[in-house]
Structure 1
Amino acid sequence: MRDYAVVGRQLFLQRIIIYSAAILLAGYYYDTSTALFFYAMVWLGEAFDGYVFNQILRWRDRDWAKARHFVLMIYIGTLFSATVIASFSISLAAQQGHTMHFWALFMLFSAAIFAAINNHQILSVLVLRLSIYIAALLFIPIRDLVATNPPLSSPLWLQFFTVLFVLSFILECSRSFLVGYVKNLRYINALVAEHEKTKAAYNAKQEFLATVSHELRTPLTAIKGALQLIGSGALGTVPPKMQHLFNMASSNSESLANLVNDLLDLQRAETGKLELHIEPIELGAVAAATVDRTRPYAARFDVTLHMEQPKREYWVNADRHRIEQVLVNMLSNAAKFSETGGRVEISLGAHDDQISLAVKDYGIGIPKDASEKVFEQFSQVNSSDIRRHGGTGLGMNISRHIMQAHGGEIDFESVEGVGSTFYVTLAEDKTIRPQPIPDMRKSA
């Protein structure tokens, strides 16, 4: 019923143009007063249908009494409008006398085809409308045959047989469009049902991630705290025989904590609950501090981090903690996938009111056919990378969510075997006038 109303409202202008042209032409060549009367009836029917369509499209509840009322209103509108068109065509044929009625029959044929194409949403309504048009199509030539009783060679008989042929064409068109609509409706219903299942599974996954992550965080915090206390020597020196196991427990607890934090961030990002504390920050200073903090991690891979000294300040409105999180992901990935003894370069620049921070490595690079995996969840370019280099496979996906929440972007350029350049872009804060940075400032 809603589909019927949508299509009916969309085709209002098209119907009016067709009816206006047909009736006004008939008025010019035949009786003007009759044409104007039926033209007014057409507008009355359209006004009634328009009111019913609007009421249906505003209907939101599942009140079946209203549904039955709307169906009845559709029947009334259909009966009225179809009767007007049929009566007008019969009137036009009567004015022409007992002769060939091309214009009158063409009007009915066009109206029937229009109904077959556009009124198949409700079968009973289509049957009602076509019944009226078909009755008029048969009445016009049969009336001439009864009144004149012509021989079989008369063109009036040819007109009658032509009408029969046209009727078979109309019925076939109606059947074809009705079958197609039913198939499409079943397909759409299947898609809707599948979408609901997918949405339910997604919601279940989100609730599971949130619950498990929160439940893991509490005991994990206690475990990390106990290990840190032992490592500090407050409870005595760790025996040499236990040192290896202690280091393994500390490392794995840290990895598990990172996984829990990443899962929580992912859950917040996908549900639109990623909190941002936006403030003006100087991106160069934030980058320099993050680089210094990441140097020990890069040293584990025998990789050095080199940040080019910015020539001026670069102010953006962002969440300092989240931007640092993105930079740590970029720097740690660059270090992990660089060759031993490699170098990672960090640079800042501005273009068209956009600040860009780039992290360039000279490592293994990313194959073209694997570029889509970079920002996927639980994914790295090579599945063996997770085992060899560690990581959750969530860092870059979370980084993309963070940058999108800032209205910025994160992307990369890479050549396999040569290296990769990852960069983030943010809008520059034009309310703060950037100051030049003196040359005496040492490179981070």
Structure 2
Amino acid sequence: MKAPPAGLAEEYSLALRDYFADGGEAALLRAYELGRQAQLEGLGVLELAALHQAALASVLRRRSDNAQIAHRAAEVFAESLAPFEMASRRFQEANALLCDRNEGLEHEIEAARREQRRKDEFVCQLGHEVRTLLASVLGALWTLESGRAGALGDEPQQLVAGAYRKSQRLVHLVNDALEKEKIESGAVRFALRPVELRPLLERAVAMSEPNASRHGVAVVIGNALSSGKLHVDCDRLLQALKTLVSNAVRFSPPGETIVVGSSRRGPAIRVAVTDHGPAVPQELRDRVFATFASSDPALAIEGAGRRRGLSTSRAIVERLGGRVGMDSGTEAGTTFYFDLPEWRGDALAGHDSGGPRA
């Protein structure tokens, strides 16, 4: 129990004696003020009671009219306790208000969860319906393009071929959007474990070689760490890395080399994919990782914005605690990268760091 300051004890004894001698509101007001002072000094009700008892004992030694003293002592003590009672009432009122607000927040959170579940169900159902329709459209276009429905003239053949390519692009966009939604909503489970980075880079390069050969480009590992671990879902991170490499392959001129590398950036490891294809247009750089990177359909389908799976790659990397980024030249050359916290022993080296790319 905290001892009251000597000055407070003396003032309380003086106020008590004054009230015994003369009574009156002034002395009771003084008792109330001393109660507030006791509160500010960090005293509790028990400390104030002890202070009152000590002051009363000193007065009783000098007086014989104990009945009147007991009555007035109770009045003084009740007045000195008033600030504590008011604080207690305010606390109870605040606590009741907080409980009401918490209950309201719980209802709002539950309503938001129900809305999110409805949204997820709608997106899932919509995705199923759209993919079913697109499969029918693609099948019909493939039948026409392949000539199985009869020979087409040159111009109709070109139109059908273009429609088929754009329908494939639309399938990719729908799949990317649905996959990103599932990852961000937590519907996709990540199996995290420490993974050595160098073998993962080698796997990504090896898996990209057939596609790179068809495009007449090479994919190699350049400057890369000889060792370094990440705490990730290996398959999901490989998916994100393969997306960056496949986009680099798609936009690299024949004969060029795509370089995959890694480096340390403070507590993080950066994995970068560099190509020598056309630069990302300036108007797309701030939103190149968005689900739909361009509001111009022609640019999104035919132009430099036609990069696939970048929004999904971003969702994967961010789910793993990292960030994605991009550096692009004025006319040619782009580096897409992601930064993830390095794994050291049983703890991460630190926070994620990094910046954007497509």
Give the aligned partner of residue 124 of structure 2.
210
Give the aligned partner of residue 218 of structure 2.
304
State which of 336, 344, 351 in structure 1 corresponds to 2:258. 344
**Is 1:325 aligned with 2:239?**
yes
Deviation, 1:425, is 2.1
Deviation, 1:402, is 0.5
CA distance in 2 between counterparts of 1:324 and 1:427 reads: 16
Aligned residues: 273
CA distance in 2 between counterparts of 1:212 and 1:428 reads: 39
Deviation, 1:359, is 0.8
Deviation, 1:322, is 1.4
2:278 partner SS: coil
RMSD over aligned Cα, in angstroms? 4.9
Q: 1:307 to 1:216 in 2, by over 3 A?
A: same
Give the aligned partner of residue 414 of structure 1.
328
2:178 partner SS: helix
Give the aligned partner of residue 266 of structure 1.
180
CA distance in 1 between counterparts of 2:327 and 2:112 reads: 34
**Is 1:41 aligned with 2:82?**
yes
CA distance in 2 between counterparts of 1:61 and 1:271 reads: 25
Deviation, 1:342, is 3.7
2:321 partner SS: coil
Q: 1:409 to 1:51 in 2, by over 3 A?
A: same
1:362 partner SS: strand
* Superimposed CA distance per residue, residues 325-377 of structure 1 (whole angstroms, 9 cap, x where no aligned partner): 21122123323444565432211223545332111123333456643212222
Deviation, 1:306, is 2.8
Counterpart amino acid of 1:402?
I
User: Normalised by the size of structure 1, how large is the TM-score?
Assistant: 0.48
1:269 partner SS: helix
State whether residues 284 and 305 of structure 2, in contact with CA within 8 Å, keep that contact through their aligned partners in structure 1. Answer: no
Deviation, 1:379, is 1.0
Give the aligned partner of residue 287 of structure 1.
201
CA distance in 2 between counterparts of 1:254 and 1:39 reads: 81
Deviation, 1:390, is 8.4
Q: 1:326 to 1:289 in 2, by over 3 A?
A: same
**Structure 2: segments with no counterpart, 5+ residues:** 1-7, 20-25, 32-75, 347-358
User: Going by fraction, where is strand more abundant, 1 or 2?
Assistant: 2
CA distance in 2 between counterparts of 1:387 and 1:272 reads: 29
Percent identity of paired positions between Structure 1 and Structure 2: 25
CA distance in 2 between counterparts of 1:260 and 1:383 reads: 14
Q: 1:202 to 1:364 in 2, by over 3 A?
A: farther
Q: 1:291 to 1:389 in 2, by over 3 A?
A: farther
Q: 1:253 to 1:282 in 2, by over 3 A?
A: farther
Higher relative contact order (CA 8 A, sep 6+): 2
Deviation, 1:254, is 4.9
Q: 1:387 to 1:351 in 2, by over 3 A?
A: closer
State whether residues 243 and 308 of structure 2, in contact with CA within 8 Å, keep that contact through their aligned partners in structure 1. Answer: no
CA distance in 2 between counterparts of 1:41 and 1:287 reads: 72
Deviation, 1:406, is 0.9
User: Normalised by the size of structure 2, how large is the TM-score?
Assistant: 0.57
Q: 1:390 to 1:412 in 2, by over 3 A?
A: closer
State which of 90, 96, 102 in structure 2 corresponds to 1:55. 96
Q: 1:204 to 1:372 in 2, by over 3 A?
A: farther
Deviation, 1:411, is 1.5
1:273 partner SS: coil
Deviation, 1:269, is 2.4
CA distance in 1 between counterparts of 2:171 and 2:295 reads: 23
1:258 partner SS: helix
Counterpart amino acid of 1:305?
V
2:272 partner SS: strand
Q: 1:265 to 1:345 in 2, by over 3 A?
A: same
Q: 1:302 to 1:202 in 2, by over 3 A?
A: farther
State which of 309, 325, 331 in structure 2 corresponds to 1:395. 309
1:360 partner SS: strand
State whether residues 299 and 306 of structure 2, in contact with CA within 8 Å, keep that contact through their aligned partners in structure 1. Answer: no
CA distance in 1 between counterparts of 2:212 and 2:299 reads: 17
CA distance in 1 between counterparts of 2:103 and 2:240 reads: 48
User: Going by fraction, where is helix more abundant, 1 or 2?
Assistant: 1
Deviation, 1:298, is 4.3
CA distance in 1 between counterparts of 2:310 and 2:231 reads: 21
Give the aligned partner of residue 363 of structure 1.
277
Note the 1:85-164 alignment, pairs <5 A. Answer: none
Counterpart amino acid of 1:422?
F
Q: 1:400 to 1:414 in 2, by over 3 A?
A: same
State which of 184, 192, 203 in structure 2 corresponds to 1:278. 192
Q: 1:271 to 1:33 in 2, by over 3 A?
A: same
Q: 1:391 to 1:240 in 2, by over 3 A?
A: farther
Counterpart amino acid of 2:241?
L
**Structure 1: segments with no counterpart, 5+ residues:** 1-19, 64-192, 229-236, 433-444
